[in-house]
Structure 1
Amino acid sequence: MQEIVRTNDPVLISAIEALLGGAHIPYLVLDQNMSVLEGSIGMLPRRILVDDGSELEARQLLTDAGLGRELRPQGP
C-alpha cells in the first residue's frame, strides 16, 4: 500500500473517496478514528492509501481532477 494523500480536510477526503470509488480503485483511509483521541478538533491528518498496483492510476486520476497538489511525493 502506498500513501498518496495526507490531509485533515474532510471535504477533500470525501472528494477523493468518490473519485477512487467511482474508478473502482481500492483504497483505505487511515486514522479516521483518531478524533476520539484528539478531542474531535481535526488536528491529526487522515491518510489515504492505495494498492501498489493502483498507485499510478490513482495519482493520474487525482491529477486530472485538479487535485495533483494534494498528492504526497511518490515513494521509491
Structure 2
Amino acid sequence: MRELLRTNDPTVIAFASALLDGEGIASFVLDANISVLEGSIGILPRRLMVAERDHFMAAAVMRDNDLSVTE
C-alpha cells in the first residue's frame, strides 16, 4: 500500500474515495477511527492508501480533480 492523500477534512477523503471507486481503483482509509483518541477535534490527518500498482493512475485522477497528492 502507498499513501495517496493525507488530510484532516473528511469530505476530501470521501470525495477522493468516490473518484477512485468510479475509476475502479481500490482504496483504503487509514486512521479513520482516530477521532476516538483525539476527541473529534480533527487535528490528526486521515490517510488514503492505494496499492502500489495503482498509485500512478490514482495520482492522475486526484490531480485531474484538483486534489493534492502526497509524494
TM tier, shorter chain? over 0.9
Pairwise CA RMSD: 0.7
1:72 Cα deviation (Å)?
A: 0.7
Once the two structures are aligned, what percentage of the paired residues are identical? 46
| Counterpart mapping for 1:1-76 below 5 A | 1-67=1-67, 70-73=68-71
> How far apart, in 2, do the equivalents of 1:48 and 1:14 lie?
10
| Aligned residue pair count | 71
Any stretches of 5+ residues in structure 1 without a counterpart? none
> How far apart, in 2, do the equivalents of 1:32 and 1:17 lie?
13
